[in-house]
Structure 1
Amino acid sequence: MKRVVITGAGTINALGHSVPDTLEAMREGRCGIAELDFRDVDRLAIRIGGQVRGFEAEGRFNRQQMTLYDRFTQFTLTAAKEAIEQSGIEFHGDTAARSGVVLGTAGGGVSTWDDNYRAVYEEGKNRVHPFVVPKLMNNAAASHVSMEYNLKGPSFTVSTACASSNHAMALAFQMVRSGAAPAMLTGGSESMLCFGGVKAWEGLRVMSKDACRPFSANRNGMVQGEGAGVFVFEEYEHAKARGADILCEVVGYAMSSDAADIVMPSKQGASRAMAGALADGGIDAGKVGYINAHGTGTAANDKTECAAVADVFGPHADNLLISSTKSMHGHLIGGTGAVELLACIMAVRDGVVAPTIGYEETDPECALDVVPNEAREVPVEYALSNAFAFGGLNAVLAVKRI
Structure 2
Amino acid sequence: MTVRARRVVVTGLGVVSSIGNGRNGFGTGLREGRSGAGPISFFDTSGFAHDRMCEVPDFPGGNPEHGLATRMTVAAARMAVDDAGVDLAVLRGAPGLIAIGSTDGDARDVDELTELELSRGLPHLDPLLARRFRLSRMPVAVAADLGLSDVEAITLPNVCAAGNYAVGYGIDAIRSGDADFALCGGGDTPNRKVFANMYRLGALAPDACRPFDADRQGVIFGEGAAVLVVEALDFALARGATIHAELLGYSLTCDAYHPTRPLQEMVTACMRGALADAGVAPHEVGLVLAHGTGTKANDPMECAALAEVFGPGAVPPVSAIKSMIGHTMGAAAAHACTAAVLAVQEGFLPPTINHRVLDPECPIDCVPNTSRAAQPDVVLVNALGFGGANAAVVLSRYAA
TM over 0.5: yes
**CA shift in 2, pair 1:89/1:128, >3 Å:** same
Separation (CA, whole Å) in 1 of partners of 2:247 and 2:116? 45
Tell me by how many angstroms 1:113 deviates.
Answer: 2.1
Q: Which residue of 1 aligns with 2:178?
A: 180
Structure 2, gaps ≥5 residues long: none
Tell me by how many angstroms 1:47 deviates.
Answer: 0.3
**Could you say what secondary structure the match of 1:365 adopts?**
coil
Q: Which residue of 2 aligns with 1:54?
A: 58
Does structure 2 retain, via aligned residues, the 8 Å contact 1:105–1:164? yes
**CA shift in 2, pair 1:289/1:183, >3 Å:** same
Q: What is the letter of the counterpart of residue 21 of structure 1?
A: G
Q: Which residue of 1 aligns with 2:352?
A: 356
**Could you say what secondary structure the match of 2:218 adopts?**
coil
Greater helix share, 1 or 2? 1
Tell me by how many angstroms 1:125 deviates.
Answer: 8.4
Tell me by how many angstroms 1:9 deviates.
Answer: 0.5
Separation (CA, whole Å) in 2 of partners of 1:174 and 1:316? 34
Q: Which residue of 2 aligns with 1:138?
A: 135
Does structure 2 retain, via aligned residues, the 8 Å contact 1:28–1:374? yes
Counterpart selection for 1:191 from 175, 189, 192: 189
- Give the TM-score of the pair, scaled to structure 2: 0.94
Tell me by how many angstroms 1:259 deviates.
Answer: 3.5
Q: Which residue of 2 aligns with 1:311?
A: 308
Q: Which residue of 1 aligns with 2:12?
A: 8
Q: Which residue of 2 aligns with 1:329?
A: 325
User: Does residue 299 of structure 1 match 2:303?
Assistant: no
Separation (CA, whole Å) in 1 of partners of 2:267 and 2:367? 21
Greater shift after overlay, 320-329 or 43-52? 43-52
Tell me by how many angstroms 1:398 deviates.
Answer: 0.4
**CA shift in 2, pair 1:94/1:138, >3 Å:** closer
**Could you say what secondary structure the match of 1:294 adopts?**
coil
Tell me by how many angstroms 1:122 deviates.
Answer: 4.1
**For each residue in 1:161-196, what CA deviation from the matched residue of structure 2 results, as whole angstroms up to 9, or x when unmatched?**
11111111110111112111000111000011x333
1:59-74 matched pairs, under 5 angstroms: 60-61=61-62, 65-67=63-65, 69-74=66-71
Greater shift after overlay, 182-191 or 119-128? 119-128
1:32-181 matched pairs, under 5 angstroms: 32-55=36-59, 60-61=61-62, 65-67=63-65, 69-92=66-89, 95-96=92-93, 98-116=95-113, 118=115, 120-122=117-119, 127-151=124-148, 152-181=150-179
Separation (CA, whole Å) in 2 of partners of 1:126 and 1:363? 48
**Could you say what secondary structure the match of 2:361 adopts?**
helix
1:230-379 matched pairs, under 5 angstroms: 230-315=227-312, 317-318=314-315, 320-379=316-375
**Could you say what secondary structure the match of 1:299 adopts?**
coil
Separation (CA, whole Å) in 2 of partners of 1:13 and 1:224? 12
Q: What is the letter of the counterpart of residue 49 of structure 1?
A: M
Q: Which residue of 2 aligns with 1:396?
A: 392
* Identity value in percent: 34
Q: Which residue of 2 aligns with 1:21?
A: 25
Does structure 2 retain, via aligned residues, the 8 Å contact 1:163–1:334? yes
Q: What is the letter of the counterpart of residue 333 of structure 2?
A: G
Q: What is the letter of the counterpart of residue 102 of structure 2?
A: T
Q: What is the letter of the counterpart of residue 177 of structure 1?
A: R
Tell me by how many angstroms 1:270 deviates.
Answer: 0.8
Separation (CA, whole Å) in 2 of partners of 1:190 and 1:122? 28
Does structure 2 retain, via aligned residues, the 8 Å contact 1:108–1:139? no
Tell me by how many angstroms 1:345 deviates.
Answer: 0.9
Tell me by how many angstroms 1:197 deviates.
Answer: 3.1
Counterpart selection for 1:214 from 211, 214, 220: 211
Length, aligned pairs only: 393
Tell me by how many angstroms 1:261 deviates.
Answer: 1.1
Tell me by how many angstroms 1:314 deviates.
Answer: 1.0
Tell me by how many angstroms 1:93 deviates.
Answer: 7.1
- Give the TM-score of the pair, scaled to structure 1: 0.94
Q: What is the letter of the counterpart of residue 25 of structure 2?
A: D
Q: What is the letter of the counterpart of residue 148 of structure 1?
A: D
**Could you say what secondary structure the match of 2:182 adopts?**
strand
Q: What is the letter of the counterpart of residue 354 of structure 1?
A: P
Tell me by how many angstroms 1:153 deviates.
Answer: 2.1
**CA shift in 2, pair 1:255/1:119, >3 Å:** farther
Q: What is the letter of the counterpart of residue 179 of structure 2?
A: A
Q: What is the letter of the counterpart of residue 66 of structure 1?
A: P
User: Does residue 384 of structure 1 match 2:380?
Assistant: yes
Greater shift after overlay, 172-181 or 34-43? 34-43
Separation (CA, whole Å) in 1 of partners of 2:269 and 2:224? 29
**CA shift in 2, pair 1:321/1:51, >3 Å:** same
**Could you say what secondary structure the match of 1:213 adopts?**
coil
Does structure 2 retain, via aligned residues, the 8 Å contact 1:346–1:353? no
Separation (CA, whole Å) in 2 of partners of 1:119 and 1:281? 55
Separation (CA, whole Å) in 1 of partners of 2:228 and 2:260? 29
Q: What is the letter of the counterpart of residue 393 of structure 1?
A: A
Separation (CA, whole Å) in 1 of partners of 2:90 and 2:100? 23
**CA shift in 2, pair 1:191/1:96, >3 Å:** farther
Separation (CA, whole Å) in 2 of partners of 1:170 and 1:96? 23
Separation (CA, whole Å) in 1 of partners of 2:57 and 2:110? 21
